[in-house]
Amino acid sequence: MLRKFYPGEYLNSAYEIEFERLYREGYRGIIFDVDNTLVPHGAPADERAKKLFAYLKELGYQCCLLSNNKEPRVKMFNDQVQVQYIFKAAKPKISGYERAMELMGTHKGNTLFVGDQIFTDVYGANRAGIRTILTKPIDPKEEIQIVLKRYLERIVLFFYQRRR
């Protein structure tokens, strides 16, 4: 029952993903959540994020930001990294993931999703058939509804890690 919430991988940070290896494995598109995956909630793209996206483009990846936030928030981040983006995505609905693949010209077999939340990011990407990478949140300061979900995520992660 919990498997639908399990990520393909669970890492400390989006910045430690072996993107070169994944490219060699045939992945060509990466969908990213923004807040607490790439930067703290509400923050603009920092130097680390800018360098990451420049590197990914150099490798040959297509990238898309997929966020449940409103456009001004996502656009503020994207102005610095210049990739495709979708705002008010209503994750975990699969339509946002499908639209992101359409924008990138990729398909579920060569697309990755990177995010920090199980019940929106990972669950939606799993339902869309996309390989998932869950990251630990960058900043512990979060909105109350996310803090409450983090307690439930710990239960899922306990069983996920036990299964591994």
Question: Over its length of 164 residues, how does the chain's per-residue pLDDT go in tens digits?
Answer: 788 999 999 999 999 999 999 999 999 999 999 999 999 999 999 999 999 999 999 999 999 999 999 999 999 999 999 999 999 999 999 999 999 999 999 999 999 999 999 999 999 999 999 999 999 999 777 676 776 777 788 888 888 888 77
Structural fold of domain 2-163: Rossmann fold (3.40.50)
pLDDT at residue 144, as a whole number = 64
Helix (H, G, I), strand (E, B) or coil at 39: strand
Tell me which DSSP letter residue 125 carries: H
Order of strands across the sheet with 84-86? 9-11, 131-135, 111-115, 29-32, 62-66, 84-86
Contacts (Cβ under 8 Å, ≥6 apart) of 158: none
Omega cis (within 30) before 92: yes
Show the tokens assigned to 16. 């430690």
User: Cα-flanking dihedrals φ and ψ of residue 58, to 5°?
Assistant: -60, -40
pTM, two decimal places: 0.92
User: Cα-flanking dihedrals φ and ψ of residue 131, to 5°?
Assistant: -65, 135
Helices 71-81 and 47-59, packing angle to 10 deg: 70
Query: Considering only CA atoms, which of 76, 7, 63, 56 is closest in space to residue 32?
Result: 63
Largest CA distance in the chain: 41
Residue type at position 62: Q
Are the C-beta atoms of 52 and 153 separated by less than 8 Å?
no
